[in-house]
Amino acid sequence: MPLTLADTLPTDSTEREYLWTLNFGPQHPATHTTLRLVLTLDGERVVDAVPYIGYLHSGFEKLGEHLDFNQYVTIVDRMNYVSPLANEIAWHHAVEKLLGIELTPRCVYLRTILAELMRLHDHLLNVGTTALDLGAFTAFLYGFEQREKIYDIVEFASGQRFHTSYTRVGGVLLDVNDEWISRVRKFLKEFPPTYREIDKLLTRNRIFIDRTKGIGVLTREDAVNFGATGPIARASGVVRDLRKDEPYLAYADLDFQVICSTGGDCYARYLCRMREMGESLKIIEQALENLPSGPVNVESVSDVVLPAKPPVYRSIEGLIQHFEVLMPNRGYDVPHEEIYAATESPNGELGFYIAGDGTTRAYRARTRPPSYVHFGLFPHIIRGYQLSDVVAVLGSINIIAAELDR
Amino acid sequence: MLELATLQDRFGSEITESTFRDNRRIVVPLARIYAVLEFLHRGGFDMLAEMTAVDYLEYEGATDRFGLVYVLVNTTTGERLILRTHLSPPELEVPSAYPLWKSADWLEREIYDMFGIVFTGHPDLRRILMPEEFTAFPLRKDYPLKGRGERHNFPVITRAES
């Protein structure tokens, strides 16, 4: 429990001279990325924390107004670089909603598998680094071994390990083959033992529990009021998961549970992420079993979707179609409308607000990054705890600074 | 589900509604925005999921310069509502939604930083992503993509000078 002594102290500035200020970041091993906190401390107790962000601000939203819907995907996957494909799926989910494109069943299931692989990807890193910051190195390495395998799977599909730029308007870059499917199957077999090992290392670890249980408590009311989403909100008892509430992709057809907890502390967030990984495995298994055959790209709206590479290189019709989509003076019709579309990214609600003005570029491409909203509530949940709890709370709310600053 | 007629009875008939795909949008005049937000907050919309602005300077058929977008969520029923209002210079002032939803704190700071819309009643309206010394509002349409030379003219302090 946090001590309340700091709250009862007189607020007059001369009376608070014993408080000291600590600069945390922008370069600090526990921030993992570039963010800065100015902490006001009473001994080791945090009286206040003021975040200063913007160190990685690179004007992504401005760029989004100058790149077309397919080009901007290369920028989008640099936002949350821990789960890049989740961003791409969210971006093209919004674009396709604006254009009114219905994806092919194969693409829907393929994107679902990739989105859930990214959830594993993100949660593995988060669980690992949270433990790493608290002094437990092993779980981090176990997690990274599995992340490496996910990288291999993603590389096999897209040719890129990290910034895949895999999705396209109305489909994906390349279809996957049977070899890819068997690789995912192999991963599904190999993952559970590692998962159990991480679970054994941390879940009942006395030191880990002492460092996380009852730390950084976020009540249900505050979680909703501060706009928390994803595992952070669910760990506080908010039963909300966009995969269930506003089903997109293939989630309506698949059987999985929404993992919630009422603890609201760092330990509950850790538990939620761990259990969510189990649900993700279930989703991938089901989607893989039911992966439909057929084309992966939408063919009915051929003026929007890029043609496959073989016809582009081998036939004049394919080349013309390719040019029709890409040439700046050609393009396709985009409604004069605005749309907000959100997906459940590993970190929470990742939404895009797109204003279309008839051209193939977004008039406004706003990102609703979960990290930004979550970091806004950080000062609220750290007040009253110890200095050493800062890293535990920072780890548990999973701030990705590239997404935070965009 | 919230009926449009309820809002129109209370806040006047200028309130309009439109639907695009699954987005339900309600456009509210600027003078009424806080009252409507407060009414919706009391009516169960307990989460402000997203808040953003759009600069309509070059937008075909737009009459106002800026549009302000609130995405509200009722976490009990899962209902999502998009609230929009419009404003034009020189009066770029909107009452802050911070008293109702704490998440408005940083979302409004970002809109202020990027568009220069001032939120009255906000407890700490400072720039958030851009440096404090920055004078322009980068997401406005009249701000060029490559900037106005801020990066090139940035004062560099050498080791000898420091």
Question: What is chain B's pLDDT, residue by residue, as a tens digit (162 residues)?
Answer: 778 888 888 888 888 888 888 888 999 998 889 999 999 999 888 899 999 999 998 888 888 889 999 999 998 888 899 999 999 888 889 999 999 999 999 999 999 999 999 999 998 888 888 888 888 899 999 998 888 887 787 778 888 887
- Note whether B103 contacts A376, CB cutoff 8 Å: yes
The domain locations on chain A are 5-52, 60-405
Fold of A60-405: Cytochrome-c3 Hydrogenase; chain B (1.10.645)
- Note whether A351 contacts B138, CB cutoff 8 Å: no
Q: Which of A97, A226, A344 is the mutation pick for testing B, counting most B CBs within 10 A?
A: A226
Kindly list the residues from chain A whose CB atom is less than 8 angstroms away from the CB atom of residue B80.
246
Chain centre distance of CA A332 = 30
Exposed/middle/buried for residue A144 (C-beta within 10 Å: 0-12, 13-18, 19+): middle
- The percentage of chain A sitting over the pLDDT mark of 90, rounded to a whole number, equals 32
β-strand pairing of B93-95 with B118-120: parallel
- Within 35-74 of B, beta carbons closer than 8 Å to A belong to 46-50, 52, 54-55, 58-61, 69, 71
CATH class of the domain at B4-120:
alpha beta
The domain locations on chain B are 4-120
How far does chain B reach from its first CA to its final CA, in angstroms?
62
**For the whole model, what pTM was predicted?**
0.90
Chain centre distance of CA A327 = 32
Return the number of CB contacts < 8 Å for A and B. Answer: 109
- Note whether B50 contacts A245, CB cutoff 8 Å: no
ipTM: 0.91
Q: Looking at CA atoms only, how far is residue B40 from chain A in angstroms?
A: 14
Check whether A7 has a pLDDT greater than 80.
no
β-strand pairing of B23-27 with B80-87: parallel
Check whether A59 has a pLDDT greater than 90.
no
- Note whether A373 contacts B106, CB cutoff 8 Å: yes
What's the pLDDT score for residue A14? Answer: 57
- Note whether A227 contacts B20, CB cutoff 8 Å: no
What's the pLDDT score for residue A118? Answer: 92
Check whether A186 has a pLDDT greater than 90.
yes
* CA-closest candidate to residue A308, choices A292, A297, A324: A297
Residue type, A233: A
Buried b (16+ CB within 10 A) or exposed e, A233-262: bbbbbbebbbbebbebbbbeebebeebbbe
Residue type, A135: G
Tokens found for residue A308: 């496959």
Tokens found for residue A286: 């089901």
Q: Which residue in A has a C-alpha nearest to residue B81's C-alpha? A: A340
Residue A370 · residue A9 · CB < 8 Å = no
- Note whether A222 contacts B55, CB cutoff 8 Å: no
- Note whether B20 contacts A358, CB cutoff 8 Å: no
Q: What is the DSSP letter of A253?
A: G
pLDDT digits (tens, 9 = 90+) for A191-202: 999 999 999 988
- CA distances for A263 relative to A161, A215, A238, A256, A269, angstroms: 36, 10, 11, 22, 8
Angle A178-202/A138-158 helices, nearest 10 degrees?
170
Chain centre distance of CA A212 = 22
Kindly list the residues from chain A whose CB atom is less than 8 angstroms away from the CB atom of residue B102.
222, 225-227, 376-377, 380
Residue A203 · residue A278 · CB < 8 Å = no
pLDDT tier at A298 (50, 70, 90 boundaries)?
Answer: confident
